[in-house]
Amino acid sequence: MMYALATTNAGEVFKVPMFVEHYIEYHGSLSEFVMEHYDNHKKDSDWDTDQKLPFINPPIVLTVHAQLPDLNFEIKKPKEIIIQQKNSFYQEKDFSHLYLSRIFQPPRLS
């Protein structure tokens, strides 16, 4: 909890009593008080007290900067692979015609 209060603006909540006390001393409305102290506030006689108001000087917040690496990729066209195959069909001219009378016959070229 101490770390969170020290490194974030949550610790500014502890300065709210100073805000209330300073507003009670101020002669005017709440909107006038906020506009005078938080909208381009200029140095005046109670400058030191004004600097103790919440969110006037917020603490430096610890920040971590992370950057993802550039992801560049390209899809390359696959190389065309040509496979030459010999015709593996059965050649009728190399064999006799005795097989034609049988039920099971080898494949034929059209």
Is residue 47 within 8 Å of 41, Cβ to Cβ? no
Burial category of 11 from C-beta neighbours within 10 Å (exposed 0-12, middle 13-18, buried 19 and up): middle
What CA–CA distance (Å, rounded) separates 36 from 39?
6
Contacts of 95 (CB under 8 A, 6+ apart): none
Domain ranges for the chain: 1-51
User: Is the pLDDT reported for residue 20 higher than 80?
Assistant: yes
pLDDT of residue 41: 76
Mean pLDDT, the chain, rounded, equals 75
Q: Which band of pLDDT confidence, cut at 50, 70 and 90, is reported for residue 38?
A: confident
Mean pLDDT of 86-108: 64
**Predicted model pTM:** 0.44
Choose between 91 and 44: higher pLDDT: 44
Mean pLDDT of 87-108: 63
